[in-house]
Structure 1
Amino acid sequence: MRTWGRRIRSTVDGQFGAVVFVLVATLLVGGWLTYGAYATTETTVEQEQRAQAQYVGAFDHEADVVVDSPVFDAGTTLSNRTAYFTQATPVLDGTFRYTYTATDGGNVSVTATVEAVFRSVADGEDGGEYWRVTRPLNRTTASIEPGETVRLSFSENVTELLNESQRYDESVGGTPGTLAVAFAADVTTEGTVNGRSVARSQTYRLGLSADDSVYRVDDPGTITNATKQTRAVRTQVQPGLVGRVGGPALLVVGLLGLLALGTLRYQGQLALSEAERAYMAYERDRNEYEEWITAARLPPEARDGPTVEVDSLEGLVDIAIDSDRRVIENGPDGEYVTVVDDVVYRFSAPPEPDSDPLSPLVSTNGASGDQGTDDWGDDEVADEEATASTDGND
């Protein structure tokens, strides 16, 4: 409505400097966000995995029952247990297996050796060795591709191994340490994996220990060692939604706002005319004092007294309040009247200006503003006639 257009123009004209500052700030912020989103190139470095290799080693072990018993028949094979019987299953048969996988292929030479290792280990955190003796059990060399397996078998009487360890310790007069026996597989891998040269060594251990009538096997299970080949990849960071959309939007709002503001100011269409100011003052008073105004039609005889013209609707309402009267909106022509002691106090509303520079920007429905005035028809008769003797606030 035109009322809103006048109110906007009045506010902007009165706060012109502040509005310009806000629009300039909006323009700068939008430009900064847009520049950051589209003009600058921010990158990040990420590590991209190109290839992977896994080297896998494990022991399998079993022992055959050599004597009949109510629990096991002779010839029964016990496999991959944590404990075996010293008398019933004295010989431990084992196999060490080694393989590798590579995502981009490979070919390596594997040298594997299985040894019996005897040690006297000092008690305490340092775990130093008093002595160490190794005895080779099996050895092999093979060229393998990814997925192929190298196997080495061994078979030893564990009771004899434990006694052998005791003899080594006695040969040096005995030690205060703990005697330890283990099978150790030393594996050396050399060749090409995933297009790169490799040379690696690793030892896998299968520990043994005596525990009364059984011997225990400390099996580490399957041991997998993985290697990865990565490369640094530089990628451009995509701007966020605020920068991609909010920046240009603020830029356009700020720019168009400044252009529109400058055009209206230059053409003199921003400041209100005297007629517009007068009408806005009337609208303000009409809305503020609506509860003191009654729409009615005065009979001709109620206006026979002297007439006093009042400059504003607010002044007329003050007279009505002081006189304990109401203001009569007399017809649709914007005439307001209060009769006090046969004196007619009259205010005529200013005509609404015909146009407003901002009227294309707001909807119009023919109304003059936010007034609560009633429509008057030519043939309409007021429901009640207001007379000079009308008292009170109805």
Structure 2
Amino acid sequence: MGLLGRETRRTVADNYRLLLICLVAVAAVGGYLTYTSHVAPGTETTTRQVSSWQSSGSFTHNATVRNGTAAFREGEVLDERSVYLRQVAPVLDGAFTYTYSASDEGDLTAVADVAVQYRSVEATQNGDIVYWAVEQSLTRNGVQSLAAGERLTAPFSVNVSRAAETVRRIDSEHGRTAGRLEVAVVSRVELSGTRNGQRVDTTRTYRLPITPSQSSYRVGNSGPVTHSDDRTVETRVERTYGPLWTSGGPVLSFGGLVGAVALVYGRVTGRFGLTETERRWLAYESARAEFDEWITVGRADPVDDDVWATTVDSLVGLVDIAIDTDERIIETENGSELIVYTGDRLYRYRPPPEPGAGDSAEVHSDAETPS
């Protein structure tokens, strides 16, 4: 029988070429993985961040009640509201704050100029049209040294009722333009010095919109508004592979080569081959399992001499006769013979002996010869 079962050897023998191709392919893939991970891994480009910074500018605001009512006590401070009442708290107080962080040291000088801005703006498909713009300074800080993490603060105060009258008056001077009248607190921060070892010379502008109405005024989003940047460098490094790649390559290569050599050796030495007797037995077993529902185990009694007996050379042929005559196949209790009896004819099939049962291969081969 050999080291492997008959079914396994038949499968290997019938699919020898396909199995050999698969094993060679596995060895080739393993060789590629081994070569790329251990012999010539190659290089790849990586991006590394060497420095970064971020700045932030924001407004805080409040309004003090100057004309007390039943709802608001005089002197009460209203903080960070989106809407204030002009009659109750006409003056908006606040402060602008600027700060920055840097991955390395920073040494900047900063000047903050806070102004109230009046302008007339019309929005179009091609962008805003500014008919006119006027600014009045509210606060100007002196030059201040600013290290990373430190804060620059500039206070401001705007009488919104007076600002609403001012923007209408200026627009009247320009013939009442078609633009939207705007009031805003604008802060400009002039920065110079070094940050992360890089020269800095720039100006940042931040806006706090104020929208007056008949009885109130609305304060827009106060921030923070951030700016950031980072500096990166590209370097080429040796490519690295995971453990599945580095370990799997040699395993696949070795396994594929050993399997291919074993397959060829087994074919040359006949270890995967089947005798003719074994092939007949396997064919019978397959047919017996496939047509089991047509077969009934029973006892075969002798028949009259005038009944013709015919021996067929395969179980499949006997099944065809049973189908054509609509008869059952009877298998003797000892399994030595299968018959189909039609009344005047007896069809029989004698299964080949199982290999290894004591009969020679030649006897097995002749077992299916018609008598």
Asked if Structure 1 and Structure 2 have the same fold, meaning a TM-score greater than 0.5 normalized by the shorter chain, the answer is yes
The separation in 1 between residues aligned to 2:88 and 2:52, in whole angstroms, is: 45
2:359 to 321, 332, 349: 349
1:148 deviates by 1.2
Q: Deviations over 1:216-242 (max 9, x none)?
A: 322433222222333335455544676
Provide the residue aligned with 1:136 in structure 2. 137
1:182 to 172, 181, 184: 184
1:271 deviates by 7.2
Does the 8 Å CA contact 1:26/1:251 hold for their aligned counterparts? yes
The separation in 2 between residues aligned to 1:216 and 1:170, in whole angstroms, is: 23
Partner amino acid for 2:135?
A: T
- Secondary structure of the residue aligned to 1:251 is helix
1:152 deviates by 1.3
The separation in 2 between residues aligned to 1:173 and 1:215, in whole angstroms, is: 25
The separation in 2 between residues aligned to 1:227 and 1:256, in whole angstroms, is: 57
Q: Which has the larger radius of gyration?
A: 1
| Deviating more after overlay: 32-41 vs 73-82 | 32-41
The separation in 1 between residues aligned to 2:216 and 2:195, in whole angstroms, is: 43
TM-score by length of 2: 0.66
The separation in 2 between residues aligned to 1:174 and 1:318, in whole angstroms, is: 117
% identity of equivalent residues: 31
- Secondary structure of the residue aligned to 2:66 is coil
TM-score by length of 1: 0.63
| Deviating more after overlay: 211-220 vs 29-38 | 29-38
- Secondary structure of the residue aligned to 2:194 is strand
Provide the residue aligned with 1:226 in structure 2. 228
| Deviating more after overlay: 139-148 vs 24-33 | 24-33
Equivalences for 1:1-394 in 2 at 5 Å? 2=2, 4=4, 20-122=20-122, 124-125=124-125, 126-140=127-141, 141-234=143-236, 236-239=238-241, 243-260=245-262, 269-270=269-270, 277=275, 280=278, 349-350=359-360
1:262 deviates by 5.4
Closer, same or farther: CA 280–117 of 1 in aligned 2, 3 Å: closer
Closer, same or farther: CA 38–163 of 1 in aligned 2, 3 Å: same
Q: Deviations over 1:226-283 (max 9, x none)?
A: 22333335455544676445543342234224444555677xx42799xx94774796
The separation in 2 between residues aligned to 1:272 and 1:159, in whole angstroms, is: 102
- Secondary structure of the residue aligned to 2:185 is strand
Does the 8 Å CA contact 1:282/1:350 hold for their aligned counterparts? no
**Residues paired across the two proteins, number:** 312
The separation in 1 between residues aligned to 2:101 and 2:48, in whole angstroms, is: 20
1:184 deviates by 0.7
- Secondary structure of the residue aligned to 1:212 is coil
Closer, same or farther: CA 111–262 of 1 in aligned 2, 3 Å: same
Does the 8 Å CA contact 2:275/2:361 hold for their aligned counterparts? no
Unaligned runs of 5+ residues in structure 1 are: 295-313, 335-347, 353-394
The separation in 1 between residues aligned to 2:81 and 2:281, in whole angstroms, is: 100
The separation in 1 between residues aligned to 2:96 and 2:272, in whole angstroms, is: 99
1:187 deviates by 0.9
The separation in 2 between residues aligned to 1:147 and 1:285, in whole angstroms, is: 87
Closer, same or farther: CA 172–51 of 1 in aligned 2, 3 Å: same
Partner amino acid for 1:170?
A: S
The separation in 1 between residues aligned to 2:338 and 2:78, in whole angstroms, is: 118
State the superposition RMSD in angstroms. 4.4
Does the 8 Å CA contact 1:113/1:136 hold for their aligned counterparts? yes
